[in-house]
Amino acid sequence: MAQMTALRAHRRGGPEVLVAESAPIPVPAAGEVLVAVHAAAITFDELTWDETWTRNGVSRTPIIPSHEISGVVGEIASGVTDFEPGDHVYGLIRFDRDGGAVDFELDCHDVSIYLGRSLHQGAFD
């Protein structure tokens, strides 16, 4: 399986628990797009929110922070009609999902993701 670099935390904490490590590149399932992340933002506060660390009361560690992303669609799965490979996108990922501090991020229809028609991607490269 192809690998990417991901910034992860294996236990709850602040910036001191974040580590860069190798992780598998995700494969998009039906309704998802794979985004090559060009820019991502991490706020200190997101490391303090319960939804960063748990989903329905269950730990999601290791977590990947950074929920504001900008990038380019690399792959689309079945059921995706709004995006094509090569589309420039930016958006906000739900906080109970892995974030964008990675080389590639999966996004689905329940994630806010927008075509960057009026915002040039080069501003983030």
Distance CA 114, CA 78 (A): 19
**How much is the average pLDDT of 24-45?**
89
Range of the domain at 107: 3-123
- DSSP letter, residue 2: -
3-state secondary structure of 122: helix
Say what the pLDDT of residue 108 is. 64
Say what the pLDDT of residue 124 is. 47
Say what the pLDDT of residue 54 is. 92
Residue 51 confidence (pLDDT) above 50: yes
Say what the pLDDT of residue 110 is. 53
Say what the pLDDT of residue 112 is. 58
**How much is the average pLDDT of 59-64?**
93
Provide the whole-model pTM. 0.81
Higher pLDDT, 18 or 84: 18
Give 37-59 as a DSSP string: EEEEE--GGGGG-HHHHEETTEE
Q: Can you give the CATH number for the domain in which 29 is found?
A: 3.90.180.10
Average pLDDT, the chain: 84
Q: How many domains does the chain have?
A: 1
**pLDDT tier at 113 (50, 70, 90 boundaries)?**
low
Tell me which residue of 45, 46, 28, 47 sits closest to 36, measured CA to CA: 28
